[in-house]
């Protein structure tokens, strides 16, 4: 489930309803965003969930003229979150990937056509495929498990 950032009632309620779920913490490079993401990740300690890892979104922009990396929003937020959560949980929490800015990623999301299919060689596609590969090899999952949830009104 894609939840809003932070540690509000929604995140805590969902964590309590789906305790066997694992968290994938998503942040951006900015320090303020990293601090919020780390606090959100600590919900896992309270709800006895595991943290699958951290993904840093909007990590960098390839310069359209020279191709060099431009750290538009700074750098290091994802690693800071992974390091902080590792200390909190007492086990390694990996930084799974740093997804660069790419307008085609947003456009593909809006149109329902993933960038990983339209341009598999794009830097954002390569990072997302790497993250998916790492998550696909995890032993735990919710596939085929009853979550004990029913739709409202039933």
pLDDT in tens, 69-90: 999 999 999 999 999 999 999 9
Phi, psi angles (nearest 5°) of residue 48: 60, 40
Residue 19 in this model has a pLDDT that exceeds 80: no
CA atoms of 118 and 20, how far apart (whole Å): 34
CA atoms of 23 and 135, how far apart (whole Å): 11
Nearest to residue 33, comparing CAs of 60, 6, 61?
Answer: 6
Structure tokens at 84: 């902080």
Confidence of residue 7 (pLDDT cuts 50, 70, 90): low
In this prediction the pTM is 0.83
CA atoms of 133 and 68, how far apart (whole Å): 26
Which letter, b or e, does each residue of 44-76 get, where b requires 16 or more Cβ atoms within 10 Å of its Cβ?
Answer: beebebebbbbbbbbbbbbeeeeeeeeeebebb
Structure tokens at 126: 């390569």
Residue 154 in this model has a pLDDT that exceeds 80: no
Give the pLDDT of residue 39: 87
Lookup result for tokens 């601090």: 35
pLDDT (mean) for 29-51? 87
Residue 97 in this model has a pLDDT that exceeds 90: yes
């Amino acid at each position: 489930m894609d939840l809003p950032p932070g540690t509000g009632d929604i995140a805590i309620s969902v964590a309590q309803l789906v305790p066997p779920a694992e968290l994938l913490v998503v942040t951006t490079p900015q320090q303020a965003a990293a601090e919020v993401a780390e606090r959100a990740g600590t919900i896992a300690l309270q709800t006895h969930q595991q943290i699958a890892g951290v993904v840093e979104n909007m990590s960098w922009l390839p310069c359209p003229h020279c191709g060099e990396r431009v750290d538009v929003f700074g750098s290091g937020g994802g690693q800071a979150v992974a390091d902080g959560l590792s200390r909190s949980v007492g086990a390694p929490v990996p930084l799974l990937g740093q997804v660069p800015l790419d307008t085609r990623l947003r456009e593909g999301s809006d149109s329902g056509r993933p960038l990983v299919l339209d341009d598999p060689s794009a830097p954002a596609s390569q990072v997302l495929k790497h993250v998916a590969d790492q998550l696909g090899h995890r032993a735990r999952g919710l596939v085929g498990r009853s979550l004990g949830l029913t739709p409202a009104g039933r």
